Amino acid sequence: MTLTSPVWHPFTQHAVQGDVPTIVRSEGAWLEADDGRRIFDAIASWWVVTHGHRHPKIIAAIQQEAARLDQIIFAGFTHPPAEQLAQRLVEITPDELTHVFYSDSGSTSVEVGLKMALGYWLHVGEGRRRILALEGAYHGDTIGGMSVGERGVFNAPYDPLLFDVSRLPFPRAGAEQATLDALEQACRSEPVAALIVEPLVLGAGGMLIYPPWVLAEMARICKAHGVLLIADEVMTGWGRTGTLFACEQAGIVPDIACYSKGLTGGSVPLAVTMCRREIFDAHYSTDRRKTFFHSSSYTANPIACAAALANLEVWQTEPVQQRIDALAATHTRALDRFRDDARFSNVRQIGTIAAVDLVVGDAGYLADIGPRLYAYFMARGLLLRPLGNTIYMMPPYCSTAAEIAAAYDAIAAAPEMLTR
């Protein structure tokens, strides 16, 4: 690739990356490049776009708020969009989640959650420091997010910066009890501050799915030992797993919940970290040393908050759940063709997320098959970013059955095409 742009792209090795399309327009489930190509956005532009690109209500809200407010310092000030959005979030989440802290990305919402947990234990006089996380997890690319994520190619260069975390085995089918036993043992062996999990499905870790009863048991064990449970719903929230939030399927309420991506329908960056009253109260003091020392310059940006409010209105006034259910059913029917196909394995689905593993000799995130698959799909007007040999789909909820079927046709043909 000839470097003609000064832009350094994320998760991109420019030495092997081919031409980078210039996208000039988006609508619904489609992207349009400057050369006229149309690309089906089968991964919702990194899992953020829920209802479809440029939803009219959300775009109108952005335009209207931009005519009133742009950016307001949020330390010592507030504004209507932030107040209204916080109230709405408290209304649609479990009653126990009483406080809303704004940030601007999924990674920072996780960072906030970890700091809330550690601050809580310090301020109540216990000073617990140990964090637990699942093997294979991904929680973002900030220092805290990388620390609680899987150690490997994503973060190896930065290892000296990362803090120590205790790992629990991923609850694979048939071996779930090993995870629960490891959690119980970890909680008994030393004081634990918090367990952080991606509820029901690991995202970048390979779209690995585990059942709601396991999440419920993890929550029960945490509660029994006074361990805070942090639910990283950055990817799993806003309908991706079939319900508004994944934790609903397990019937649990985390102590801290991290939401982003679909919070604004995928239109502009915004994140929130919600917590129980006790965590806020531990930081509430005339002793200014107990202040929660976290912020970003764009905390609670009014335009982003207006977009999120419009997104919640879409959920309230449009048949979003029916669209999710229909999309999930379309996945289920389409996946049947792969279940007895020896070229694929581990066919799996939860809600609007579906994945299959291509059977190859070289697997894993850095497997050569990954870039080859990406190029193959792009040549067919399909945006899929395989995780090594794992091919997954997480399309916008407006995607039609015909669009999904065409994507699955391309996946089914991939093994044969790649051997030519």
Q: Residue 247's closest CA among 397, 94, 115?
A: 94
Question: Which runs of consecutive H residues, i.e. helices, occur in 268-368?
Answer: 277-283, 302-317, 320-339
What does the alpha-carbon distance between residue 117 and residue 109 come to, in Å, rounded to a whole number?
12
What is the distance between the terminal CA atoms of the chain, rounded to a whole angstrom?
Answer: 24
What does the alpha-carbon distance between residue 334 and residue 49 come to, in Å, rounded to a whole number?
22
What does the alpha-carbon distance between residue 213 and residue 177 come to, in Å, rounded to a whole number?
11
Q: How much is the pLDDT for 1? A: 42
Retrieve residue 317's tokens. Answer: 């006034």
DSSP structure class, residue 4: -
Per residue in 371-407, pLDDT (tens digit) is 999 999 999 999 999 999 999 999 999 999 999 999 9
Instruction: Name the band, by pLDDT with cuts 50, 70 and 90, for residue 420.
Output: low
Q: Measure Cα distances from 27 to 55, 107, 267, 330, 360 in Å.
A: 8, 27, 12, 21, 35
What does the alpha-carbon distance between residue 176 and residue 338 come to, in Å, rounded to a whole number?
25
Structural domains for the chain: 58-317 (3.40.640.10), 319-418 (3.90.1150.10)
> Is the pLDDT score of 327 beyond 70?
yes
Mean pLDDT of 271-278: 98
Tokens 């209207």 locate to 64
Rg of the chain in Å (alpha carbons): 21
What does the alpha-carbon distance between residue 417 and residue 373 come to, in Å, rounded to a whole number?
10
> Is the pLDDT score of 2 beyond 80?
no
Contact 249, 243 (CB under 8 A): yes
Contact 358, 419 (CB under 8 A): no
Per residue in 335-376, pLDDT (tens digit) is 999 999 999 999 999 999 999 999 998 877 888 899 999 999
Q: Residue 231's closest CA among 204, 198, 270?
A: 198
Per residue in 78-109, pLDDT (tens digit) is 999 999 999 999 999 999 999 999 999 999 99
Q: Residue 310's closest CA among 65, 48, 31, 47?
A: 65
Tokens 């959920």 locate to 315
Per residue in 166-203, pLDDT (tens digit) is 999 999 999 999 999 999 999 999 999 999 999 999 99
Q: How much is the pLDDT for 3? A: 60
> Is the pLDDT score of 61 beyond 90?
yes
185 CB-side CA count, 13 A: 10
What pTM was computed for the model? 0.97
Q: Residue 303's closest CA among 82, 62, 108?
A: 62
Instruction: Name the band, by pLDDT with cuts 50, 70 and 90, for residue 153.
Output: confident
Average pLDDT, the chain: 96
Q: How much is the pLDDT for 417? A: 82
**Helices 369-379 and 401-418 meet at what angle, rounded to 10?**
130
Per residue in 200-259, pLDDT (tens digit) is 999 999 999 999 999 999 999 999 999 999 999 999 999 999 999 999 999 999 999 999
What does the alpha-carbon distance between residue 283 and residue 7 come to, in Å, rounded to a whole number?
41
Retrieve residue 140's tokens. Answer: 């973002």
Retrieve residue 74's tokens. Answer: 């949020």
What does the alpha-carbon distance between residue 395 and residue 32 come to, in Å, rounded to a whole number?
16
Query: Around Cβ 104, how many Cβ atoms within 10 Å?
Result: 19
SS3 state at 130: strand
